[in-house]
Chain A
Amino acid sequence: MVTATRADSARRLAVFLAVLGLAAGPVPRPGYAAPVPDPGDAAPAPSSASQPSPAGPPSPTAPGDGPGPPAAPAPDPVASRGADLYLRTCASCHGPAGEGSQRGPSLVGVGPASVDFQLSTGRMPVDQETRQPPHRRPAFSAADIRALVAYVDSLGGGGPQIPTVGPGDLREGRELFLANCAACHSATGGGATLTNGLVAPSLDRSTPVQVAEAIRVGPGLMPAFPENVLGPEQVDAVAGYVQHLRGGRLDRGGASLGRLGPITEGLVAWGIGLALLVGVVRWLGGRAGR
């Protein structure tokens, strides 16, 4: 009898926990809700100032005076800091003058948007040469990234500048996103599989500036969208809609289940719904004999 009651209460506890888990909804991953990657960072790149970020108070330190080692006194501390960082962390693959090598492409003329995108999403520097570096915490502070962007730009001009992102129209953003982005990044922004083991990454950590940079630069397999394809207001709209997609704001129906679509829904229907009902039926049938 004792064992029976214990089994009963365990079952009840399992049911209760399952319901609780469902009610709790999606568990926010670290860095999921806060787009500013490093709390010690200075304010995000000045271009994004018009799109206030929802979390992370801007550090009081002045630009150029990041939490890294203090810059050596030099005629242009930013430029020498950039050169120093470049030689230490980038030159081994991209070459001392950004000319590229067998391990990395040339950086001459890639433009500030590309460098800022790769550094601020933590994709560069790579710690291991994978085919597709993932979105991580950036290795450098915002000030160091600015110094590196300026230094790489000085190796050879040209390329798209870091875009300034303003508030965009949500409706237009949704329509543009579905027409241009959803085929690879999924309509949910969760990303999807591409050919040859590559993936279109999830956008749930991308800041508006990073989205705008990616649109202009076209990193990896992504096509670039120059100004004559998507105007600045349209880029603002897409970046704004991506911010709207992030987090759980659009998951109005409850736990998002990873927004992976019917396959996870089917797993939940079997693993929670039907499993629960089969347990109920066993319980009801088991009581019948008593």
Chain B
Amino acid sequence: MITRWLSGRLARSLDDRLRVAPVLRRALAKVFPDHWSFMFGEIALYSFVVLVLTGVFLTLFFEPSTADTVYSGAYAPLDGSRTSAAYASTVRLSFDVRAGLLMRQTHHWSALLFVGAIVLHLLRVFFTGAYRRPREINWLIGVTMLALALFNGFTGYSIPDDLLSGTGLRILYSVTQSIPLVGEWLVFLAAGGEFPTAELVPRMFVSHVLLVPAVLAALIAAHLGILLRQKHSQFPGPGRTENNVVGSRFWPSYTVRTLALFAWVLAVAFALGGLAQINPVWIYGPFDPAQAISPAQPDWYVAWGDGALRLFPAVEFRVFGRLVPSPFLPGVVFGGLTFAGLYLWPFLERRRRRRRDRLAHQLLDPPRAHPARIGFGVGVLALFAVLLAAAADDILARILRLPVLHVLSILRVLALALPVSAGVVAYLVARALRAGGGRGIGELTRSDVRSAMRFGSRAGGVSTGVGDPSPVATAEPAAGSHDAARIELWRDPDGLWRWRYRDAVVVLAASQAYRSRPEAERAAATAYGDLPAREVAPSGGRTGEPAAMRERAGRIAGRAGGYLALAAVALWRGRRARRRPPP
């Protein structure tokens, strides 16, 4: 009761001064699609939050310097050793700072989760065609954030100055060096001299904790701002058109859901950080250019680059008398092509279509609707899976008890064969699914696949154009009963007009209220076009569901607040008890 009165007063006084109510009301009524695949981006967002929180803790204890220091602390095998300040402070914050190791490990685990969630989000956007007009800008921002995440992951992995990451740094240095003409200049510009340099760790640190996170935060803001402005895309379904979004409101239902996800991300990141060891730099030892470590791989999100370096034959050639060293093709060209392909994909695909697709798309493609896109995507994924395996070729060789060169040869064959075969299989499965309607992969029969392999009317299997009937849309009532779809308007006791869409399958209430009936009708017409609209009696308050949800959210918030207060009191009493001298 008291909290409600207090928050009401606070909200009123803020609104008096800033007039936030209209903006906030619109923002809180924003509709989020309910499909689970739309939450991958949020996993990445919350991992980023965990990264910032734990990262701030780490900066309090980490010393970004390669200056010679003597470690003295709880880790006995290093006690009294001369190492760089960066390495010594990393071991110190792991062993001598309370909760330091938990924070460091959670930071590293959430970095892996962060990039993984970005990749999942990218795959969802790719396979459903969510990058199409008008969302190309957000695709470009997203790919940029992926690149920045990879770069920041690599610098974060490298700044402890341990033997394992030093090996990786040396590789990146050499790959950059292999760029013809400018490579030598570039590495000297970045590293300030011949590897290893004293400038490298401080520079990577500044980029890791300041520059890239700031750019990432700005891009996340832009990504979300554009999302708000453009509204969400959605899968096709009953009641869903190019002009509406069907889902849950931000407040209260989606707020509860997204906060639950935040809590889960925190829980998973900290559980991994507390229970599973990651990057034990105290075992790896400090970096020394004269020493080596084996097996050595980078974190998974850059391991595809390492895998490409291992798989690609050592080809060196001369252009205009200048040597192009062997890391250039697999390191620089392949990585460049990967990101160039990602950046250009929306525009390449638009061009590829026979009818140039310049329409705006708010409804997503069900993945199966575009077999060519699925085939290409799965093929590329298979290639990257082989490259990831190649980064661990020595570990694979040990597990398989094969000479490492044999493993390398097998992986080379796989790198060529697997993408093609996986792509073809995915293409055929998608075709069979598309032809078979809304059934799942498990229900495909041999005859479905056989008919998918017959290329008749659709020459070459070039994917369908814009106006394709999507399979999910068949769930809509048949054309005959389509007149069942209608708009219902009513006036609530508070004097505001509301409307809902109703057909044989669903009832969808509008998220906003309107001052007059024409306004409500206009909104309904924007969403559904010319459907018959009729006035109905107000149906027991605001459609019941949001009100109940709001009440439940309020209850949950109240209970959480109570628990927090209890915990605070308990903590405070505990501290007082500890401070009191023993009798």
Contact = CB atoms under 8 A, between A and B. Distances in A.
A187 B163 contact: yes
A21 to B, nearest CB: 9
A146 interface: no
Contacts of B392: 263
Given A22-B272, A171-B79, A277 B299 contact: no
Among A263, A282, A283, chain B packs the most CB atoms within 10 A around the CB of A263
A245 B280 CA distance: 12
Nearest to B165: A262
A107 interface: no
Given A250-B283, A252-B94, A252-B277, A268 B77 contact: no
B527 interface: no
Interface in A174-189: 174-175, 178-179, 182-184, 186-188
B20 to A, nearest CB: 28
A273 B163 contact: no
B164 A261 contact: yes
Contact of A182 (B112, B285, B299): B285
B394 A266 contact: no
Interface string B259-276: 011001100110110111
A193 B294 contact: yes
Nearest to B102: A253
B268 A276 contact: yes
B116 A270 contact: yes
Given A197-B397, A265-B112, A255 B288 contact: no
Among A19, A23, A284, chain B packs the most CB atoms within 10 A around the CB of A284
A252 B78 CA distance: 15
B168 to A, nearest CB: 9
Interface in A14-56: 19, 22-23, 25
B275 A241 contact: no
B90 interface: no
Contacts of B269: 273
A289 B402 CA distance: 52
Contact of A193 (B94, B265, B299, B398): B398
A245 B274 CA distance: 21
Contact of A281 (B113, B248, B261): B261
A284 B260 CA distance: 8
Contact of A250 (B265, B275, B282, B298): B282
B257 A269 contact: no
Given A178-B288, A187-B293, A254 B36 contact: no
Given A170-B76, A273-B116, A192 B109 contact: no
Nearest to B393: A193
- Of the four ranges (under 10, 10 to 19, 20 to 34, 35 or more), the interface on chain B belongs to 35 or more
Given A272-B272, A284-B39, A266 B34 contact: no
Nearest to B257: A284
Contacts of A289: 34
A13 interface: no
A19 B275 contact: yes
A188 B283 contact: yes
B291 A179 contact: yes
A250 B57 CA distance: 24
A284 B36 contact: yes
Contacts of B101: 252-253
Given A178-B285, A182-B285, A195-B404, A22 B275 contact: yes
Given A188-B283, A269-B113, A263 B395 contact: yes
A10 interface: no
Interface of A: 19, 22-23, 25, 170-171, 173-175, 178-179, 182-184, 186-188, 191-193, 195-197, 199, 241, 244-245, 250-257, 259-263, 265-270, 272-274, 276-278, 280-289
Interface of B: 34-40, 43, 76-81, 94-95, 101, 105, 108-109, 112-113, 116-117, 120, 163-164, 247-248, 253, 257, 260-261, 264-265, 268-269, 271-272, 274-280, 282-285, 288, 290-301, 303, 388, 391-392, 394-395, 397-398, 401-406
**Closest 9 pairs (CB-CB, A-B):** A285-B36, A266-B300, A253-B277, A269-B112, A197-B403, A288-B34, A22-B275, A192-B294, A193-B394
8 contacts: A195-B404, A255-B277, A265-B300, A266-B300, A269-B116, A272-B272, A277-B117, A288-B34
